Structure 1
Amino acid sequence: MKVLFATGNIGKYHEAKQILARYGIEVERVDLDYPELQSDSLEEIAAYGARYCAESLGQPVIVEDSGLFIEALNGFPGPYSAYVFDTIGNEGILKLLEGEENRKAEFISVVGYCEPGGRPVTFTGEIRGRIAEEPRGEEGFGYDPIFIPEGEDSTFAELGVEEKCKISHRTKALERFAEWYKNNVAGR
């Protein structure tokens, strides 16, 4: 079984490849630059992206959109996480949280799947945690150096990709997709 993953993010691709391999699903990356719907809903963004890519490629495809939701910042950066990261980075997020005791946060990932002419299906995964006081760790990408998952003392970047892929928000969303895919699409 093989699925196309439309993403320009190599880190996401490697994680998806590792996670979906457990289900016997091979992942092929397609670097398709598609317009991102401006919405407060990750589900809407992923569904739109999946439909757009499926129609553009003429093949079934998955996309993934994720966001970091920080409680003390009223859920910011949320669905705008990629833009915020590119603009102010981890240092900017830490600056916004300076002096803040409440560092609770949640990472949410939504995988969208669509076939050409079909309706998109979305799969959500989440993980609670907190924002570190400073960036820590060398592995991963994006907010990994500042996100500490619940039950851990290490950031995602300190845990490393293999450990992260056992517990992450993206893992949960991709596992939900994989189960659905095997039961509803594979073998058709």
Structure 2
Amino acid sequence: MQIYYATTNAGKLASMQRDLAPYDAEVIQLALDIPEPRLADVGEISRHKALAALSQSPGPVVANDSGFYIHALGGFPKTYVNFALETIGIEGILRLMAGQRRACEFRESLAYMDSTRSEPVCFYDVVPGALADDKKGAMREGLWSKLALIFIPEGSEKTLAEMALEEYDAWRQLKRAQSTPVRQLGEWLARIHST
């Protein structure tokens, strides 16, 4: 089965191709720059993006969105991560967190849409963790955001950027073994195509 992935990010494309290969899904890049609605919910954004992409796609399409939610700040920055990093930066986020509880989470949504559906099917994931007190580690290939300098995933004592490459790869493998949106999509596709 062919699925078109509405993304301009080659790294995201390669990751989805690898993760959907066991489900006999061929993922083809649909390099669209889709305007994102200004919403705080990752599910609604991925849903809107999938609907917009379908009109420009030769087949079934997927689109995703993610956000970063800090509990003590009412969820800030939510889906506005790039804006927050461009304006106040990591240092500003850490200043806002002075004396606050450090719980936070990444949220991700992946929406699938084809011409037989009236609405996209959405798959979700939450990656809980905590904010470090200071920036730790160094940015490198594979780290998708500067938030890696301050995000400590649940079960770890290090930020993603502090982890040695082997530790980071082990954490990613553990994540992939769990129910990620891409894995949920693959299992769902396998179910609907086996009937």
Q: Fold conserved (TM > 0.5)?
A: yes
1:101 Cα deviation after fit? 4.0
Alignment of 1:131-150 (within 5 A): 131-132=131-132, 133-139=134-140, 140-142=143-145, 143-150=147-154
Q: Is 1:183 the counterpart of 2:191 in the alignment?
A: yes
Structure-2 change in CA distance of 1:109 and 1:102 (3 Å): same
- The aligned residue for residue 16 of structure 1 is 16
- The aligned residue for residue 111 of structure 1 is 110
Q: Is the 8 A contact 1:69 1:75 kept in 2?
A: yes
2-side partners of 1:10 and 1:94: how far apart? Answer: 30
2-side partners of 1:164 and 1:100: how far apart? Answer: 30
Q: Is the 8 A contact 2:2 2:60 kept in 1?
A: no
1-side partners of 2:179 and 2:87: how far apart? Answer: 26
1:72 Cα deviation after fit? 1.5
TM-score (norm 1): 0.84
1-side partners of 2:39 and 2:171: how far apart? Answer: 31
Runs of 4+ in structure 1 off by over 4 angstroms are none
- The aligned residue for residue 77 of structure 1 is 77
Q: Output the amino acid matched with 2:131.
A: I
Q: Output the amino acid matched with 2:108.
A: S
5+ residue gaps, structure 2, are none
- The aligned residue for residue 157 of structure 2 is 153
5+ residue gaps, structure 1, are none
Q: Is the 8 A contact 2:6 2:31 kept in 1?
A: yes
- For residues 133-152 of structure 1, the C-alpha deviation after alignment (integer angstroms, 9 at most, x for no partner) is 21424341112232111001
Structure-2 change in CA distance of 1:93 and 1:27 (3 Å): farther
- For residues 10-41 of structure 1, the C-alpha deviation after alignment (integer angstroms, 9 at most, x for no partner) is 34333323322343433222220011122222
Q: Output the amino acid matched with 2:104.
A: A
1-side partners of 2:99 and 2:52: how far apart? Answer: 40
1:69 Cα deviation after fit? 0.4
Q: Output the amino acid matched with 1:138.
A: M
1:116 Cα deviation after fit? 3.3
1:45 Cα deviation after fit? 0.9
1:56 Cα deviation after fit? 1.8
- The aligned residue for residue 25 of structure 2 is 25
Question: How many residue pairs were aligned?
Answer: 185
Secondary structure (helix, strand or coil) at the match of 1:128 reads: strand
Structure-2 change in CA distance of 1:162 and 1:137 (3 Å): farther
The structure whose RCO (Cα within 8 Å, separation 6+) is larger is: 1
Q: Output the amino acid matched with 1:129.
A: G
Secondary structure (helix, strand or coil) at the match of 1:29 reads: strand
Structure number with greater Rg is 2
